[in-house]
Each structure stands twice: as structure tokens, then as C-alpha cells.
Amino acid sequence: MKPTRAATIASQAIILVIAVSSARASIDPPWGFPLCPRDVNSDQYALEPLAFERSVYSGIYNAWEQWNDPYASYFFPILVFDEHRDYVRVTRITGTEDGKPKRRLLVHGQMMSPIAPVSMRIDKCNGAMSQVFFERSKLK
């Protein structure tokens, strides 16, 4: 008995899904894959961390920054990520040779003085922010 065209396509799709998922699972980042516990009382690990990509880190950082420090991105335009296994530290830099921001800038019709950028640690397992502080040393 010859298989139908629909059965052949379905079996090929299953093989493709298995191949793609196994290829994705075998690629680990150079700093190691985070070991996220499922819950506090379990020794098992979750399959996927909630905040694992740079787009997620920058989204968390920018959301906090827009609420608390909206003009820092004008003085410190470059986001820097310091990756570790279970967390990432995110901060901003100027990108200039001396590392100092401009003295004053015209932002939305107002002259603004530099505002210290925020440094924060973001947990890769649950996206929680900790060790949040203003890096005032970057203004000197």
C-alpha cells in the first residue's frame, strides 16, 4: 500500500521539526547556558530562560530608563552588555575616545546637562533587575 501525499508531507514536516529543534538545542553560548530552576522547591531545571536574548535585555533596560532617566541615551548612546552564565550587566557608554559625554546638549528645545547612565544586573532566568545604580563616575 502506497502512502498518501498528505501522510508523506506530514512525516517530512515531523522530521524537519525534530532536526531544527535538535540543532538549536546543541548550540550553547560561549559563557554557558543558564541553569534556571523551575521553582524553589525543585532540583529540576527549566527548559528555557525568560530573558536570554539581547533584545530582551535592552527592552528591560530601556523600559526602566525611559521611566527614570529618559535623557541618558542622548549623552550615552551605546548599550554595553557584560554577559555571564546566569545574568547580564547592562550599562551605557559615550563611544568617544575620552569616554566623557558632551557638556550640554539641546534636547527637545531645552539645554540639558549630562545625566549619569544606569548600570543594572538582569537575571536571565526570570528577567529580574538587581544592583541598579547610577554610574556617576562617568560624568567626571
DSSP per residue over 14-43, as a string?
Answer: HHHHHHHHHHHHT---TT-----BSSTT--
* SS3 state at 108: coil
pLDDT band at 18 (very low <50, low <70, confident <90, very high): very low
Q: Which domain holds residue 125?
A: 54-139
Q: Is 30 contained in some domain?
A: no
8 A C-beta contact, residue 78 and residue 95:
yes
pLDDT of residue 122: 92
Residue 31 counted as domain residue? no
Task: With respect to residue 36, please indicate whether it lies within any of the assigned structural domains.
Answer: no
pLDDT tens-digit map of 36-85: 766 666 666 565 677 778 888 889 999 998 888 888 888 888 899 998 88
Q: What is the pLDDT of residues 87-127, one digit of tens each?
A: 899 999 888 878 788 788 887 788 888 888 889 999 888 88
The answer to whether residue 83 sits within a structural domain is yes
Q: Per the domain annotation, does 76 fall within a domain?
A: yes
User: Distance between CA 63 and CA 80 in Å, rounded?
Assistant: 16
What is the total count of domains within the chain?
A: 1
Average pLDDT over residues 14-18: 40
pLDDT of residue 120: 93
Q: Is residue 44 part of a domain?
A: no
Q: Of residues 56 and 5, which shows the higher confidence score?
A: 56
Q: Is residue 67 part of a domain?
A: yes
- Supply the pTM of this predicted model: 0.67
How far apart are alpha carbons 16 and 22 in whole angstroms?
10
9 lies in some domain? no
